[in-house]
């Protein structure tokens, strides 16, 4: 019967005839073809979706790991900056002996936060711990002055912290400095120093435990002010070969947990190399929990502990679990995602259920629609696609034009403040990361108001346009010329030292002074120059350049003034006080 049936299938007309004679058989065959095709498509789709979800999970963990690495890199850089400043002070300041035996000092450094510095009494040192000693070579007065020398750096560093923290210095001479101050220290001084002994904030920095004198991250420890568990990025401070104490930045474990949560990615664990869980989305307390409490499967737990100790970055499947592991670069911690294969498959089915239903409906529809009708539909869709692509191209061109207009000054064609604020943040980050120079010029037309008053605003605008044209012709394409407001302009010069920027400013000043302007004839400009310094924010960078411009104006105009560095200003202040 089958051979006879196959012989009859010679054309579309024969198929139509067979369908009319055997409608039940044709329907069954059609549904059979549909089910087979649907099953193959579904299996292929689920497998592809599973692979995509595995890759996506790996990308989420690695992205979070890179963000946490960046956070610790910045933190360690700030700690090293504090240490360098402290050791510079100790090296450059004469070691004058003082008879200081106790000290308690508190000062408000900004609108919100106090700075606190105190020294334990000689009579209380023995009650705190044998680790705190004051021998003949102890100079408390010098350490106090060293601590006070750090105050200009405390607020800028604190403002950079992505997690609420606290900057702290603790000395083996029973001296401690905190910013922001937790509270006024009164009767709990001995207790505070006893709490210090239980941390590797200070003991981990000893020569026997840290012979390379590197900055390191402590294990979770109890806060000396009884504010829960903390972790500290800390570095030892040496005066020649003598270890005076440690300086660092404290972070609450609770705040670190919230920070990791905010970075995104479900079910991520922040683990120490020994398997202590520091952060997890289910943690509601500030205590450290063990890996066993979260991962019940012994085989998975054993494999995970091996990854923490040996592997760099990896993703493995074991006993029905997918383990995605990223080892942080700056600390001995890891970011790990532990997910069951069943939960991944369940998520795929739930996520793609509408697609599955759509495919089923689509196959059913294809059995009912002729090839000709489908061809017409696809031709119309293709025509609509071409029209949509052309429209989209025009929209993109219009958007690009609008974006340029939104970032430039309408009168002069120079960049505006919005573009400048985007560029300067990126350039400051690059300069800090690669240790490359970055300088800023602020210039102002001398007596511009008198030009407007005498010739009118149209002539004043023409002067601004011609000035912009001259400036553009005499700077590099990589330099960012911005109209800051009125007759004031800013030029950001990447890869440029303060000396090179000063030479550029002088050349521009001479060019403008020798140029002939319509109606007005001659004008002059005054310029202020500043070089970016590590750990400096945008506001301070601009403020120093603006102060230099003011100095040029004050000194008689038509000249260039250079802003001194923050360190030079501080040294001049110290020398003046001395």
Q: What Cα–Cα distance (Å) separates residue 123 from each residue in 119, 176, 266, 293, 518?
A: 12, 17, 53, 46, 81
Task: Please check whether residue 251 is in contact with residue 68, taking contact to mean a CB–CB distance below 8 angstroms.
Answer: no
Task: Compare 476 and 330 and report the one with higher pLDDT.
Answer: 476
Report whether pLDDT(9) > 60.
Answer: no
Report whether pLDDT(178) > 90.
Answer: no
Report whether pLDDT(5) > 60.
Answer: no
Residue carrying structure tokens 């920027």: 501
Percentage above 90 pLDDT, the chain:
28
Tokens for 426, please give them: 């990126």
What's the rounded Cα separation, in Å, for the pair 355 and 141? Answer: 74
Q: For residue 432, how many C-alpha atoms fall within 13 Å in the half-sphere facing its CB?
A: 18
Report whether pLDDT(142) > 60.
Answer: yes
Tokens for 46, please give them: 């689920």
SS3 per-residue string spanning 172-195? CCCEEEEECCCCCCCCCHHHHHHH
Task: Compare 67 and 7 and report the one with higher pLDDT.
Answer: 67
Average pLDDT over residues 384-396: 77
2 band by pLDDT with thresholds 50, 70 and 90? very low
What's the rounded Cα separation, in Å, for the pair 567 and 536? Answer: 12
pLDDT tens readout for residues 186-243: 545 555 655 555 555 566 656 567 778 888 888 777 776 656 777 888 898 988 888 8
Average pLDDT over residues 336-361: 70
What's the rounded Cα separation, in Å, for the pair 397 and 403? Answer: 10
Report whether pLDDT(371) > 70.
Answer: no
Report whether pLDDT(339) > 70.
Answer: yes
pTM to 2 decimal places: 0.52
pLDDT tens readout for residues 495-539: 999 999 999 999 999 999 999 998 999 999 999 999 999 889 999
Task: Please check whether residue 294 is in contact with residue 279, taking contact to mean a CB–CB distance below 8 angstroms.
Answer: no
Task: Please check whether residue 34 is in contact with residue 363, taking contact to mean a CB–CB distance below 8 angstroms.
Answer: yes
Catalytic annotation, residues: 487
What's the rounded Cα separation, in Å, for the pair 512 and 520? Answer: 13
Q: What are the strands, taking DSSP E only, across 213-359?
A: 216-217, 221-222, 229-239, 242-252, 268-272, 276-279, 289-290, 313-318, 321-327, 333-340
What's the rounded Cα separation, in Å, for the pair 317 and 117? Answer: 53
pLDDT tens readout for residues 414-441: 999 999 999 999 999 999 999 999 999 9
Report whether pLDDT(245) > 80.
Answer: yes
180: cis peptide before it, omega within 30°?
Answer: yes
List CB contacts of 466: < 8 A, sequence separation 6 or more. Answer: 515, 517, 518
What average pLDDT does the chain have?
A: 78
551 band by pLDDT with thresholds 50, 70 and 90? very high
Model pLDDT, residue 1: 46
Model pLDDT, residue 549: 96
């Amino acid at each position: 019967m089958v051979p006879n049936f196959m012989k009859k299938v010679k054309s579309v007309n024969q198929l139509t005839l067979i369908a009319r004679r055997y409608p039940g058989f044709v329907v069954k065959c059609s549904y059979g073809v549909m089910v087979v095709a649907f099953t193959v498509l579904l299996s292929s789709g689920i497998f592809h979706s599973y692979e995509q979800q595995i890759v996506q999970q790996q990308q989420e963990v690695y992205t979070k790991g890179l963000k946490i690495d960046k956070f610790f890199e910045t933190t360690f850089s700030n700690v090293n900056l504090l240490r360098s400043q402290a050791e510079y002070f100790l090296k450059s300041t004469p070691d004058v002996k003082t008879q200081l035996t106790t000290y308690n000092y508190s000062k408000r450094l900004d609108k919100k936060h106090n700075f606190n510095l105190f020294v334990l009494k000689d009579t209380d040192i023995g009650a705190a711990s044998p680790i705190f000693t004051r021998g003949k070579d102890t100079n408390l007065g010098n350490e106090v002055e060293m601590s006070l020398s750090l105050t200009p750096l405390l607020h800028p560093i604190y403002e950079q912290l992505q997690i609420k923290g606290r900057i702290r210095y603790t000395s083996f001479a029973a001296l401690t400095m905190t910013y922001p101050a937790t509270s006024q220290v009164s009767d709990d001084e001995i207790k505070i120093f006893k709490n210090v002994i239980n941390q590797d904030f200070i003991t981990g920095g000893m020569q026997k435990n840290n012979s390379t004198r590197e900055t390191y991250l402590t294990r979770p420890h109890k806060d000396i002010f009884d504010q829960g568990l903390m972790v500290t990025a800390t570095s030892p401070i040496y005066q020649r070969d003598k270890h005076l104490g440690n300086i660092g930045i404290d972070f609450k474990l609770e705040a670190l947990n919230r920070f990791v949560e905010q970075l995104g990615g479900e079910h991520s664990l922040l683990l120490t190399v020994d398997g202590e869980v520091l952060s997890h989305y289910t943690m509601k307390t500030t205590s450290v929990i063990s890996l066993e409490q979260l991962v019940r499967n012994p085989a998975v737990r054993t494999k995970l502990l091996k990854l923490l100790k040996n592997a760099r970055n990896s993703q493995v499947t074991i006993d029905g679990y997918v383990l995605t592991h990223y080892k942080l670069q700056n600390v001995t911690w890891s970011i790990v995602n532990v997910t069951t294969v069943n939960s991944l498959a369940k998520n795929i089915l739930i996520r793609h259920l509408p697609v599955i239903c759509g495919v089923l409906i689509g196959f059913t529809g294809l059995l009912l629609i002729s090839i000709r009708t489908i061809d017409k539909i696809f031709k119309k869709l293709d025509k609509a696609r071409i029209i949509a692509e052309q429209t989209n191209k025009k929209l993109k061109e219009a958007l690009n034009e609008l974006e340029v207009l939104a970032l430039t000054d309408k009168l002069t064609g120079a960049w505006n403040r919005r573009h400048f604020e985007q560029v300067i943040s990126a350039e400051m980050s690059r300069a800090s990361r690669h240790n490359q120079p970055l300088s800023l010029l602020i210039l102002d037309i001398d007596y511009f108001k008198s030009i407007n008053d005498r010739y009118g605003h149209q002539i004043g605008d023409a002067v601004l346009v011609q000035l912009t044209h001259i400036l553009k012709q005499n700077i590099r394409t990589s330099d960012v010329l911005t109209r800051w407001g009125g007759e004031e302009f800013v030029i950001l010069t990447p890869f440029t030292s303060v000396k090179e920027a000063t030479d550029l400013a002088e050349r521009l000043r001479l060019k403008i002074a020798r140029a002939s302007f319509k109606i007005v004839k001659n004008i002059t400009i005054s310029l202020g120059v500043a070089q970016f310094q590590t750990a400096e924010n945008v506001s301070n960078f601009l403020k120093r350049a603006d102060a230099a411009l003011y100095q040029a104006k004050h000194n008689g105009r038509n000249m260039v003034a250079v802003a001194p560095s923050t360190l030079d200003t501080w040294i001049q202040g110290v020398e003046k006080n001395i």
